[in-house]
């Protein structure tokens, strides 16, 4: 994807993630970086392994189709 210049620092949305069966906040930054707050929250915790068992983006946010889709949408606006 070709990055275009944006006039915002970050944009976010809350979604219902079917992979983890919970709500997750997806964030896309103006520099193209994308993150999932659910992974950020549970990734470092002891019980996180169980909560992230079915998560597609637990290793890298780019691996999650929901994060990738939101990133594409954010830069297409």
pLDDT in tens, 35-71: 999 999 999 898 999 999 999 999 988 899 999 999 9
pLDDT in tens, 47-57: 999 999 999 99
Terminal CA-CA length for the chain:
14
Above 80 in pLDDT, residue 3? no
* Average pLDDT over all residues of the chain: 91
Residue count (the chain): 77
**Whole-prediction pTM:** 0.86
User: Where exactly are the structural domains of the chain?
Assistant: 10-76
Candidates 60, 63, 52; CA nearest to 19 is 52
CB of 48 closer than 8 Å to CB of 54: no
């Amino acid at each position: 994807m070709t990055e275009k210049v944006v006039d915002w620092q970050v944009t976010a949305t809350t979604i219902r993630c079917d992979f983890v069966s919970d709500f997750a906040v997806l964030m896309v930054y103006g520099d193209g970086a994308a993150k999932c707050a659910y992974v950020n929250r549970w990734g470092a915790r002891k019980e996180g392994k169980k909560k992230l068992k079915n998560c597609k983006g637990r290793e890298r946010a780019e691996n999650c189709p929901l994060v990738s889709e939101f990133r594409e949408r954010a830069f297409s606006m």
